[in-house]
Structure 1
């Protein structure tokens, strides 16, 4: 009565050989590298506006972690086109990025990245607090 369907349904999942797969670990590495690279960009921007030894050391540690997670490829770093946003806003952005990196690092049990992210959260949290005190004094 009815003719059988001769083509594959769009609802049939493709065979695993049809497209590349990444493991959960690889996906977390990619996500963590992205968060740390974003944190590195903000750190470099802060270094341009308010240089400090702490930020220099943090930037180098972040760059090493990003390179490790990307299979040895160093992150692209640029300091061109810096504008002068409020330092507190940059520290707030860096604090949020470090928090995201910490969550991903903890979920993949990457102790080195988790410690680095937590240290950066503490440093940026302290900078936010001191910046808020300076703003209140004016």
Structure 2
């Protein structure tokens, strides 16, 4: 009535059997995710540097590139110089975007217990928050 199955299943149903497709560990997945967030933060940092370079942004970009290279296990990421800025400078929007990206990277860094990246991203969050909301000194 039914035709018997003549080929092996493509799905591994037996416990302990290995499959032909690669599996990544949780740590590898977190490394990939964290490298992606840091790369996006690096791109925004480079765009901010194109609008007005500062030593803080230069140092942060170098540190971000080092961490991305470490996470990817290879050379530093390719960085494109942003020479053609948009007609209207939009630094506030870029700082908000960088703050958000740093926050996302901080969450992933905390979940994988990467202290170096957690410190770096927390510093970047503080720097972008300070730029967005300048703190006035209270005169006493």
Does residue 103 of the first structure (1) align with residue 107 of the second (2)? yes
Aligned counterpart, 1:93: 97
How far, CA to CA, are the matches of 1:86 and 1:63 in structure 2?
23
- Equivalence map 1:30-49=2 (5 Å): 30-49=32-51
How far, CA to CA, are the matches of 1:59 and 1:9 in structure 2?
49
Q: 1:62 aligns with which of 61, 64, 67?
A: 64
Note the C-alpha offset of 1:9: 5.2
Note the C-alpha offset of 1:6: 3.4
Aligned counterpart, 2:5: 5
Task: Normalising by structure 2, report the TM-score.
Answer: 0.83
- SS at 1:82's partner residue? coil
Q: How many residues align?
A: 130
Structure 2 unaligned spans of 5+:
none
Aligned counterpart, 1:123: 127
Task: Normalising by structure 1, report the TM-score.
Answer: 0.84
- SS at 2:61's partner residue? helix
Note the C-alpha offset of 1:49: 0.4
- SS at 2:133's partner residue? helix
After TM superposition, the runs of 4+ consecutive aligned structure 1 residues lying more than 3 A away are: 1-10, 12-17
Which structure: greater helix fraction? 1
Contact 2:99 2:124 in 1 (8 A): yes
How far, CA to CA, are the matches of 1:37 and 1:93 in structure 2?
13
Note the C-alpha offset of 1:16: 3.4
